Amino acid sequence: IKGRMKSKTPIQHPPSPPALPLIGHFHLLGPETAKSFQTLASRYGPILRLRLVSKTSVIVSSAMIAKEILKDNEMNFISRPVVGYSWFNIYDGSTFVFAEYGTYWRFMKKLCMTELLSLAQVSRFTDIRRDETMKLLETLVKCSYEGKSCDLGKEFLRLTNNYTCRIVMSTRCSASEDESKKVWEFIKEIEELLAKLTFGEILGPLLGKLDLFGYGRKLKTLLSSFDTLVEKIMIKHEEDMRFCRKKERRDLMDLLLDVYRDENAEVKLTRKNIKALILELFTAGTETSAKALEWTIAELINHPQEFKKLKEEIHRVVGSQRLVEESDIPNLPYLRAVIRESLRLHPPSAVLLRRCVQDCKISGYDILANEGVLFNLIDIMRDPSSWENPLDFQPERFMEKSGGHYDPYQMDIRGQNFKMLAFGTGRRGCPGASLALAAVHGVIAALAQCFDFEVEGGKEIDMEEKAGLANAMAHPLLCYPITHFNPLAVHSFHPSQPLTIPKLSEGCTVKGYHIPSKTRLIFKFWGIPRDPKYWENPVEFQPERFLTENGSLKGQLDVRGQHLSSLAIWPGISLAQQIVQTSLAALVQLCFEWKIDRKRK
């Protein structure tokens, strides 16, 4: 009323459904919040105003209005709404993601874009992502040989948490892997609590502060334990610097500590700022990237034609002698189209949150200062006026019509294309996009090259979305990997894997026994390379057996499968041999002599 009396012209709010006393429009939101917004948008238009108990928010569901707000009025919508759980956040006032637009936020954003998460930094950590990807492949190969199913969602979360831990604070520097495991156990619990508190927040400050369900107190305790652990890791980093201990590489914590100690820095960072940022890098980066992986592989499993096309592209470009690398990504346009299509249909952050700084007009409606604005990305990126058959998974839509090249404008996912806002846009857009994209492309390419996936009972993956705004899959992504390219098998006296041919396509007869089609064949390496028919003293370690008298290599060294008595290798040979030979040579030549603990034999 006060607002109306003050203004000469009546305020023209965006359309709004009838509200109930006290709870406002709360009753109109179903468990699938994004879908409820969608239903309301189809009745009231692409911009509408909702009151949820104590909070008033404007909901935007069209690319055009998103552009008007986020591009034409960027500075007026550059801050984020204040979140209720700040009462329980020990880092309140020190965070980056929810920082007001101002000197601190600008300083931190620049630091993220030019140092911490810059393209150069992301490529410096390629080997860490590769290493973690190999661990994932190893798990899947194991499941494949044992005929066990695998919860891919869990594995993806483990992968993104692990490489983030290593990039941010090198598990090796933190003395034991236990510490990194603890960090991500904290993060998991903190994320769960934040989701609960974000929902409870709409109850308003009075009820919110009462903390009826006790989530706030639990969050405070968890954050304090996280703080103690990260402080310990920080002290170790500082000791390493002080005593000039040699490190393989400098991680993000080292870079942040440099700024912390820099007397001339534009902004004096506190320890609290550093810890808050570390927490936010985890909460903003790990689950989002894991969800992107999960949705993409689920779509590919449900779309065998597209999956096959992706495999063929990788085979054409990379061949079958080595594992696909992140450096191959520029030459894999279909892969890039697949990732974009998955992010379009299933944005891991389903909404963008901004706050209006000063009263302004958008599409003829008044948006008032301090009103929150929520951009429903699912609606925007499935808008039929922007996308043909918007609900279908069609990576081809990102390719130019002729010649299968990609269309650079369509492919832009960093915010200049307002139909495609998976990473947000403008100054407040996601600074982790390069890291996330490198990881997601690398992992999906490796999975497509190495595996097929079967769902129990030959069914399709259920693509139902979980309740709430998290845009996660409602059901665990359980499937059976079938290895058709194993990059891990290494030639050695102790072959690491049995050789498996995924499935026999047609039945056949071997030595009088009928083997029906679809049987999985396993060749036991223990048997073949130790067969006394082929090898003298087969269980003795005698490298000389591979050498001629004048010291050159014998034909038997062929480990690529022509020599049946030495079947230990798979097409990952070049990579595998390089890793094993170079590390072994370095260990022997340069570094160490080994002593055995005699008591233990």
Task: For residue 58, report the phi and psi dihedrals to the nearest 5 degrees.
Answer: -100, 130
Token code pair at residue 454: 């079967």
Binding residue for ligand HEM, selected from 13, 67, 109, 484, defined by CB under 6 A: 109
CB < 8 Å & 24+ apart, contacts of 185-193: 186/222, 186/225, 186/226, 186/229, 187/161, 187/226, 187/279, 187/282, 187/283, 187/286, 189/222, 190/219, 190/222, 190/223, 190/226, 190/279, 190/283, 191/283, 191/287, 193/218, 193/219, 193/222
Question: Which residue ranges make up the annotated binding site?
Answer: 430
- Which backbone phi and psi does 148 adopt, to 5 degrees? -100, 155
Q: Which of residues 88-107 bind ligand HEM (CB under 6 A)?
A: 96-97
Binder among 14, 24, 208, 285 for ligand HEM (CB under 6 A): 285
Q: Which is nearer to ligand HEM, 123 or 565 (CB)?
A: 123
The residue among 556, 482, 490 whose CA lies nearest residue 519 is: 482
Q: Is the separation of the CB atoms in 353 and 284 below 8 Å? A: no
Nearer to ligand HEM, 281 or 576 (CB): 281
Which range touches ligand HEM (CB under 6 A), out of 170-178, 344-352, 480-488, 516-524?
Answer: 344-352
Rounded to whole angstroms, how far apart are CA atoms 255 and 277?
12
List the Cα angle 447/330/576 in 5-degree steps: 45
Sign of the alpha-carbon torsion through 433, 439, 441, 444: negative
422: contact with ligand HEM by CB under 6 A: yes
Q: How far is the CB of 92 from ligand HEM (least distance, A)?
A: 16
Cβ partners under 8 Å of residue 273, min gap 6: 94, 96, 108
Site string for ligand HEM, 114-153 (x = CB under 6 A): ---x------------------------------------
Interface residues for ligand HEM in 26-85 (CB under 6 A)?
A: none
36 DSSP assignment: H
Point out which span in 32-40, 51-59, 346-354, 470-478 binds ligand HEM (CB under 6 A): 346-354
* 259 sits near ligand HEM (criterion: CB under 6 A): no
C-beta of 282: minimal distance to ligand HEM in Å? 8
**Partners of 454 in the β-ladder:** 480
Indicate the residue among 433 and 467 with the shorter CB distance to ligand HEM: 433
Name residues contacting ligand HEM, limited to 290-329 (CB under 6 A).
292
* Least distance to ligand HEM, CB of residue 284, Å: 4
Amino acid at 561: G
Integer Cα distance of 221 and 212 in angstroms: 16
Cβ closest to ligand HEM, residue 218 vs residue 428 = 428
- Sequence-distant (6+) residues with CB within 8 A of 207 are none
Among 208, 216, 424, 481, binds ligand HEM (CB under 6 A): 424
Query: Considering the rule CB under 6 A, would residue 156 count as an interface residue with ligand HEM?
Result: no
- Least distance in Å: CB of 283 to ligand HEM? 9
Q: Which stretch binds ligand HEM (CB under 6 A): 426-434, 443-451, 479-487, 515-523?
A: 426-434
Distance CA 552, CA 280 (A): 57
Per CB under 6 A, 281 contacts ligand HEM: yes
Considering the rule CB under 6 A, would residue 173 count as an interface residue with ligand HEM?
no
If the CB atoms of residues 285 and 442 are measured against ligand HEM, the closer one turns out to be 285
Binding mask 365-384 for ligand HEM (x = CB under 6 A): --------------------
Query: Which residue, 133 or 288, has its beta carbon nearer to ligand HEM?
Result: 288
List the one residue from 195, 241, 284, 547 that touches ligand HEM (CB under 6 A): 284
Q: Which among 59-67, 425-433, 462-470, 580-588 is the span making contact with ligand HEM, rule CB under 6 A?
A: 425-433
Count of residues that bind ligand HEM according to CB under 6 A: 25
Specify whether the backbone of 551 is left (phi greater than 0), alpha (psi in -120 to 50) or beta.
left
**Listed ranges 61-69, 142-150, 233-241, 427-435: which one lies at the site for ligand HEM (CB under 6 A):** 427-435
442 binds ligand HEM (CB under 6 A): no
CB-CB neighbours of 54 under 10 Å: 17
Phi then psi for residue 76, to 5 deg, are -80, -15
Distance CA 485, CA 523 (A): 15
Nearer to ligand HEM, 442 or 571 (CB): 442
Tell me the H-state helices in 211-353.
Answer: 215-242, 252-261, 271-302, 304-318, 333-345
Our CB check for ligand HEM shows the closer of 167 and 489 to be 167
Choose which of 189, 240, 280, 465 interacts with ligand HEM (CB under 6 A): 280
CA distance 507 to 518: 8
Residue 100 vs 138, nearer CB to ligand HEM: 100
Candidates 81, 84, 432, 495: give the one binding ligand HEM (CB under 6 A): 432
Which residue blocks in 325-475 are alpha helix, DSSP H? 333-345, 377-381, 408-411, 433-450
Q: 3-state SS of the chain: helix, strand, coil percent to 5?
A: 50, 10, 40
State yes or no: residue 344 binds ligand HEM (CB under 6 A): no
Question: Contacting ligand HEM (CB under 6 A), which of 335, 436, 470, 472?
Answer: 436
- Tell me the window of 285-293, 317-325, 400-408, 555-563 that interacts with ligand HEM (CB under 6 A): 285-293
- 352 lies in the binding site for ligand HEM (CB under 6 A): yes
Backbone angles phi, psi at 24, to 5 degrees: 65, -120
If one asks whether residue 431 binds ligand HEM (CB under 6 A), the answer comes out as: yes
Residue 395 or 424: the one with the smaller Cβ distance to ligand HEM is 424
From the CB of 281, what's the least distance to ligand HEM, in Å?
A: 4
- Which residues are annotated as part of the binding site for heme? 430
Beta carbons within 10 angstroms of residue 22's beta carbon? 9
For 166, the token pair is 């290593």
Amino acid sitting at position 464:
E
Residues of this chain that bind ligand HEM (CB under 6 A)? 96-97, 109, 117, 280-281, 284-285, 288-289, 292, 348-349, 352, 422-425, 428-432, 435-436
